[in-house]
Amino acid sequence: MFPQNIGPYLSIDETSLSQGELYTIITNKEAKGKNGSIVAIIEGTKAEDIIAVVEKIGIKERKQVQEVTLDLAGNMALAIKRSFPNATQVIDRFHVEQLASEALQEIRIKHRWNAIDAENEAIEVSKKLKIPFQAEVFENGDTLKQLLARSRHLLYKHQNNWSKTQQQRADLLFDKYPDIKKAYELTQQLKLVFASSKNKMIAFTRLARWHNAVEFVGFKAFNTISKTIELHHRKILNYFDNKSTNASAESFNAKIKAFRAQFRGVRDINFFLFRIAKLYA
């Protein structure tokens, strides 16, 4: 713990240092990932463990914290509420967008497994009939199985950023699977809420419209996301106060992972934490 590094704008996130063991890291955004970034590194992710450590910092210093960015984890929200009583909680917009992207990919993967099963059955039938098997090939050279596999990356991107081959692949994919097209449109619409809304009221209205669109389509995974947004909408909409995200925490985690990879893993956790503290605290 480094109380001298506390500031008005903090981030909290979890990271794995060795063999899946999780640590909670609280960082000061104003340090921009350099010396003075680390406020605390806490073993585990339990709210009570985080609170027990952070409360060792004086209440006067903790009350100076105005804003903390975090993900959708309930334990983090509870820890921040108890530890920094005056802080506004901001749920990271990119975690919300990631949920939609994962739901979209889930639909694509389901179709891919169905395509693999169908191809395996067709091969078995061909063997029994002693007929050479020939998979259907689309105009871009992909089989159905390849089309679904190779569409993964383009579904993360806005259509304006597709290459010509990706555009052709997307056209074939959406023509074959209208549900993937609709899920892609819902994902892009959600991203647009954060990218183009100027304030909370406009964003709230657009989220309500998105919620109605999700209800109309009836995708189970998207309904789950819509319910999650509904439950946490106040903290999500707090993004529009200062356009704050948890990108600084994600960037800091990436630095730790790179540092860990440089030394081919972590053998001595205490020494590794000591080195991180020397560099970033």
Tell me, yes or no, whether 212 and 272 share the same domain. no
Nearest to 240 by CA among 192, 191, 200: 200
Tell me, yes or no, whether 204 and 236 share the same domain. yes
Domain count along the chain:
2
pTM: 0.87
Tell me, yes or no, whether 132 and 144 share the same domain. yes
- List the domain range (segments joined by +) for residue 49: 3-92+245-280
Tell me, yes or no, whether 84 and 100 share the same domain. no
Tell me, yes or no, whether 129 and 221 share the same domain. yes
CATH at 52: 3.30.420
Both tokens assigned to 84: 């920094």
Tell me, yes or no, whether 120 and 234 share the same domain. yes
Tell me, yes or no, whether 82 and 117 share the same domain. no
Tell me, yes or no, whether 131 and 235 share the same domain. yes
Tell me, yes or no, whether 162 and 189 share the same domain. yes
pLDDT tens per residue, range 253-273: 888 888 777 767 677 788 888
Tell me, yes or no, whether 148 and 216 share the same domain. yes
Tell me, yes or no, whether 86 and 114 share the same domain. no
Tell me, yes or no, whether 31 and 77 share the same domain. yes
β pairing state of 67-70 and 88-91: parallel
**Least reliable range by pLDDT among 7-11, 159-163, 209-213, 251-255:** 251-255
Nearest to 255 by CA among 12, 70, 33, 19: 33
Q: Is the pLDDT of residue 99 over 90?
A: yes
pLDDT tens per residue, range 172-219: 999 999 999 999 999 999 999 999 999 999 999 999 999 999 999 989
